[in-house]
Amino acid sequence: MSYIPQGIIVAMTTPMTADEKLCEQELRNQVRRYINTGIHGLFCLGTNGEFYALSCEEKLRVMEVVLEENRGRLPVCVGTGCVTTKDTVFLSQKAQELGADAVSVVTPYFGEVSQKKLVEHYKAVAKSIDIGVILYNIPARTGCSISRQTLETLAGVDNIIGIKDSSGNFDNTLQYLEATGREFPVLSGNDSLILSTLTAGGAGGIAGTANLFPNKLASIYDSWKAGDLKQAVLIQDGIRAIRDCMKLGNPNTVIKRAQNLLGWPVGPVRSPFGGDYEAWDGRIADVLDQYYKDWN
């Protein structure tokens, strides 16, 4: 195991046809597009990838297509988190078999989970594979949060190589960094906090807005790494307008709609998670045109 998550990793959407079937050709197109943008890694089957709306067979096919098309050119992380440990282990082992560099494992959801059981869950997953496990904390969606103390324990487990914090609470991110001595990769799952996370000692971000402007999102990290904080701030501040559009509805629905408006036919999100596009499109298009026409 050698992969260390860092930089800006695109939280890929999953392209679909008008009748909500997987669109494999457009998925391949998107993989090829990202490879040429300077992005630092691919992450499929996360929240933006609608993992919660896909069958097991569809998830396996998405893994296959992304890894086939990528051909080792970028690190690939696959979302394998399920409600149960058994199902998570199964998908994680499949991801390893197919050649993924790491898996991202969201906390179990719907049922209440104690911190003790969280530790047992993640240890079981990490023990079942030889590739890295990135923990995924998104309590607003799962109803479950990885505590500072739990992270402190899990950071010392073999194969657990990082955490994505999508809590949106920067104080929580700081607690994670403090708990692990800033030696364990902490990645922002909130695109507005990427630069703040980097300057505090984090490793980067897994970004949904990178679906729209991967080159610019990547440049936040690259500029920061090069010591050009002024440029990093400029790009970080520049995504505020599109981030404000997330208030229109389900955030990953907004991202997918914006991709379509930019000319990338990734199709709809699966029902019932669509949006009121007649009301949305004007605002999203105005933002894309006003702020980002030179960012594509």
Distance CA 45, CA 103 (A): 10
Q: Is residue 164 annotated as a catalytic residue, yes or no?
A: yes
Cis bond upstream, residue 15 (ω within 30)? no
Instruction: Give the pairing type, strands 186-188 and 76-79.
Output: unpaired
Distance CA 192, CA 214 (A): 15
The gap from C-alpha 88 to its chain's centroid, in whole angstroms, comes to 17
Q: Is 200 exposed, middle or buried (0-12, 13-18, 19+ CB in 10 A)?
A: middle
Q: Are 123 and 88 in contact (CB under 8 A)?
A: no
Distance CA 242, CA 234 (A): 14
Distance CA 48, CA 14 (A): 8
Q: Is residue 127 annotated as a catalytic residue, yes or no?
A: no
Helix (H) or strand (E) holding 198: helix 194-199
Residues 52, 122, 136, 292: which is the catalytic one? 136
Q: Are 264 and 30 in contact (CB under 8 A)?
A: yes
Distance CA 118, CA 133 (A): 14
What the block records as the tokens of 244 is 């404000």
Residues 94, 164, 216, 256: which is the catalytic one? 164
Q: Where in the sequence numbering do the catalytic residues fall? A: 136, 164
